[in-house]
Copies of this chain bind each other. A is one copy, B any other.
Amino acid sequence: MANFDDYFKTNHSRFESELCEWLRMASVSTDPQYKPQVEQAARWLATKFEGLSFKTELIETCGHPIVYAESPQVPGLPTVLVYGHYDVQPPDPLDEWITPPFEPTIREGKIFARGATDDKGQMITHLYGTEAWVKATGKLPINLKFLIEGEEECGRKGLGEFLAGKYDQPNRKALELIDADIVVISDSSQYAPGMPAVTYGLRGIAYFELRLSGPKQDLHSGAFGGAVSNPANALTQMLSALIDLHGKIQLDGFYDDIVELSETEREQFADLKFDDEAFMKGLGVTGLTGEEGYTTLERRWARPTFDINGLWGGYQGEGAKTVLPAKAGAKFSLRLVPNQDPKKVYESLQRKLNAICPPGITMDLIDLHGAPGSMVPIDSPYMTAAAKAIEKGFGKAPVFIRSGGSIPVVNSFAEKLGIGTLLLGWGQDDDNPHSPNEKFLLKDFHAGIRTSAQLWEEISKIELA
């Protein structure tokens, strides 16, 4: 097995100083005034890949360029696509930063700067893990492709168009270019300090707006109440019928397709010893609730949900107004678990709501967006490879976790390429990625570099099907 200890030792401070150099480029993607720095950051990264003799391209888009780089491709080797982003969040509020956001500063073993953890600092670990192979051994054990975008913090329109083939050229079609066996993303957090993690599952989402109309205008609730359907009443009746008091969603066949938690997963979650009391204290609540028969982590990570995200209707001002409103509406979403289909959810929801919509009420159900959940099986060889690499890089075996949210790009890779994603977060929960004083622990930075180099070796051992 390759040993890069000497290489990492020799280049230890260069890695840090180069990251600082990159962090000084204020690549705030959402604000046009930063456009030159965004391009500077993209070119800087491209130059690094060129230094490894990677075939490198700045792909121009409707927005900021995508940095694409690939190692010389060797047939028969596994191919890894590393996704990341070089753009950063705006730094406001500036006066809350202890040191300026674009003057990277090292204090107490942490590097403080906008982009330190999200995502320049995490992304670049894969550049240096790769560099170690190229510079120290002269070759890579796998094929590597890097897709590093510049609009992750501002709607990723350019990447969307790229994946849709809009910038395809006759000899360079996006989906062929980035085709791989697995995706690796380092843009998240460890489970807790000293507990590196592999995130192997994400929830999907199905997000809707329901608009109800009753009488053509607001009515006096005294003269008409009791005889005319009230859209606000109907809204509460219809939405509350979608979930029972045991937390079970009441749609036909809703649970039929879902991948249930295995006993192994439940044990692994239990081993994390999630502290409900501390969680409640942090949120300022005196109780928790959810689907019966599941723990808090299971409910957050691996069970579907129904949440009203917004609702409105009638009089919202001060005091009393005796109105029977003409309209009421709500936005709501269901988080889905792997193998649930947002389209099927929409169809059964439409059937259910139509069936229970009271006389005199017209409903309009708008499908705002949907994405399926995703999961890399924990017994997949890529998971095993990631676990071994982390154990070597961080000196500690990772825990296997899931996340309750959805990451659209992971869905894109699954849909477009049919491949899974390893979510390997090197950060900590308190790294302030979208807040003042963003930081990244240097020990996590270097452990990430070591892990990356090990990961390429572990993946090289996987027999391709």
Contacts and interface: CB of A to CB of B under 8 A. Distances in A.
Interface of A: 203, 205, 207, 209, 214-217, 219-230, 232-233, 235-237, 239-241, 243, 245, 247, 280, 283-291, 296, 299-300, 303-317, 319-325, 328, 330-331, 333, 335, 358-362, 368-369, 403-406
Contact of A335 (B205, B225, B283, B333): B225
9 contacts: A222-B335, A222-B403, A232-B307, A232-B308, A233-B240, A286-B360, A309-B320, A309-B321, A311-B311
Contacts of A214: 285
Contacts of A328: 308, 311
Contacts of A331: 314-316, 320-321
A325 B214 CA distance: 26
Contact of A227 (B217, B243, B288): B288
Q: For A235, A240, A330, which residue has the most chain B Cβ atoms within 10 angstroms?
A: A240
Contacts of A330: 232
A209 B319 CA distance: 9
B233 A300 contact: no
B311 A232 contact: yes
Given A310-B314, A312-B311, A303 B226 contact: yes
B320 A313 contact: no
A314 B225 CA distance: 27
Given A215-B284, A223-B404, A358-B289, A236 B239 contact: yes
Q: Which of A216, A220, A299, A322 has the most CB of B within 10 A?
A: A322
Given A207-B322, A312-B316, A224 B286 contact: no
A328 B311 CA distance: 8
Given A221-B307, A232-B310, A308-B236, A291 B325 contact: no
Given A289-B359, A322-B333, A311 B235 contact: yes
A310 B319 contact: no
User: By CB atoms of chain B within 10 A, which of A247, A290, A317 has the most?
Assistant: A290
A333 B283 contact: no
Given A240-B236, A308-B314, A309-B232, A226 B320 contact: no
A215 to B, nearest CB: 4
A407 B336 CA distance: 51
B216 A289 contact: no
A291 B406 contact: no
A235 B235 CA distance: 11
Contacts of A243: 233
Given A222-B404, A307-B324, A311-B328, 5 more contacts: A227-B289, A235-B311, A236-B311, A312-B316, A320-B368
A315 B406 CA distance: 19
A311 B221 CA distance: 15
B286 A322 contact: no
Interface-central residue, A226, A305, A404, by most chain B CB under 10 Å? A226
A288 B321 contact: no
Contacts of A312: 311-313, 316
B305 A225 contact: yes
Contacts of A360: 280, 285-289
A320 B333 contact: yes
A309 B325 contact: yes
A229 B291 CA distance: 11
A228 B288 contact: yes
B303 A223 contact: no
A223 B307 contact: no
Contacts of A320: 207, 209, 309, 331, 333, 368-369
A305 B221 contact: yes
Contacts of A245: 237
Contacts of A303: 226
Contact of A313 (B285, B310, B314, B319): B310
